Amino acid sequence: MKIFIDTAKIDEIETAFSWGIIDGVTTNPSLIKSAVDELKSKGEKIDIKTYIKRILEIAKGFPVSLEVIGTSFEEMYREAKILYEEFNKIADNVVIKIPINPSLEEKASYDGLKTIYKLSKEGIPVNVTLIMKVEQAILASKAGARYVSPFAGRIDDYLRNKIGWKDFKKEDYYPEKGIQFKEQVLDDEGIVSGVDLVKKIVDVFNKYNFKTEIIAASIRNSRQVREIALTGCQIATIPFYVLSEILIHYKTAEGMRKFISDVVPEYKQIFYK
Ligand code: G3P
């Protein structure tokens, strides 16, 4: 299983890469905003091109997804070419993120598929984002996507919102098997959780031997990472705070305290004279 880091913050990317566990980076306009806002709050000036180039250098040898900002084929194709031409020469690791359906309303725009197809034909790797349905993932793969990114956490948000559940935190666990509500399990057209969405995409892609890799995205907690791993999904893109959460366990900390307090001078003198 590959682990990508889902952030545009250079300090987080650098730190996570220094642990040897990271196989790629995913960004999006919201993650870039969060990185830029943080730098601005510290009074730092940002040269965004230099900033992105630094990310690409840190991640050399591993894919970095950069997203377009337009909503029409013409805009997205043009932006994708700009991103690829400007940045891929730095470390040859740019992947272009294109939304499956760039419409701002709940209606179909085919411009996402058209852009995915054209870029893929030209050999530009595409990560198709905002995947909320198995069927969307199938179309993205058929159009030539290198990666599809189902948003697990946002499906869980959607299911909670359906029943007017408001008092949950973004990082709260949502059961893979779903939640019972009024004698039936809450679902979005048969999908009972974000992990269930990922699992079903994995099943379909395996059935038909699709070559597109699946990046489970919008991951919010440690347990969700385990459940995603058990689906057989090739990649999980994980925010830094979830990587930290993975390391924490009551018994790990307790065990550490015991080991440290049990160190005898005879053993200690190996290390310290
Ligand atoms: O990779 C997608 C991700 O950044 C979205 O995460 O937590 O905002 O749903 P989230």
Residue 28 in contact with ligand 1 by CB distance below 6 A: yes
pLDDT at 92: 98
- As a whole number, mean pLDDT of residues 208-216 equals 98
Nearby residues of 93 by Cβ (< 8 Å), 6 or more positions away = 56, 59, 60, 61, 62, 63, 64
CA distance 30 to 97: 13
**Nearest atom in ligand 1 to 26's CA:** 1
Q: Where are the domains of the chain?
A: 2-271
β partners of residue 3: 236
For the chain, the 3-state helix, strand and coil shares in percent, each to the nearest 5, are 50, 15, 35
The secondary element (H helix, E strand) that includes residue 52 is helix 48-58
pLDDT at 143: 98
Q: Could you report the per-residue pLDDT of 216-225, keeping only the tens digit for each?
A: 999 999 999 9
pLDDT at 149: 99
pLDDT at 105: 98
Average pLDDT, the chain: 97
- As a whole number, mean pLDDT of residues 30-44 equals 97
pLDDT at 230: 98
DSSP code of residue 237: E
Residue 89, amino acid:
K
Residue 238 in contact with ligand 1 by CB distance below 6 A: no
Cα–Cα nearest to 66, from 101, 23, 32: 32
Instruction: Say how many Å lie between the first and final Cα of the chain, rounded.
Output: 43
The secondary element (H helix, E strand) that includes residue 211 is none
pLDDT at 249: 98
**Annotated catalytic residue within 33, 49, 60, 97:** 97
- As a whole number, mean pLDDT of residues 208-217 equals 98
CA distance 41 to 75: 31
Residue 67 in contact with ligand 1 by CB distance below 6 A: no
β partners of residue 98: 128
Of the pLDDT bands very low, low, confident and very high (cuts 50, 70, 90), residue 244 is very high
- As a whole number, mean pLDDT of residues 187-202 equals 98
- As a whole number, mean pLDDT of residues 35-48 equals 96
Burial class for 202, CB neighbours closer than 10 Å (0-12, 13-18, 19+): buried
Residue 27 in contact with ligand 1 by CB distance below 6 A: no
pLDDT at 84: 98
Q: Could you tell me what percent of the chain has a pLDDT over 90?
A: 99
The yes/no answer on whether domain 2-271 falls in CATH 3.40.50.720 is no
**Residues 115 and 77 sit within 8 Å (Cβ to Cβ):** yes
**Residues 87 and 55 sit within 8 Å (Cβ to Cβ):** no
**Residues 101 and 39 sit within 8 Å (Cβ to Cβ):** no
Of the pLDDT bands very low, low, confident and very high (cuts 50, 70, 90), residue 156 is very high
Nearest CA owner, ligand 1 atom 7: 218
Q: By three-state DSSP, how is residue 179 classified?
A: coil
pLDDT at 187: 97
Of the pLDDT bands very low, low, confident and very high (cuts 50, 70, 90), residue 211 is very high
Q: Could you report the per-residue pLDDT of 68-122, keeping only the tens digit for each?
A: 999 999 999 999 999 999 999 999 999 999 999 999 999 999 999 999 999 999 9
CA of 129 to the centre of ligand 1 (A): 10
The reported pTM is 0.97
**Residues 151 and 194 sit within 8 Å (Cβ to Cβ):** yes
Q: Could you report the per-residue pLDDT of 123-142, keeping only the tens digit for each?
A: 999 999 999 999 999 999 99
pLDDT at 1: 97
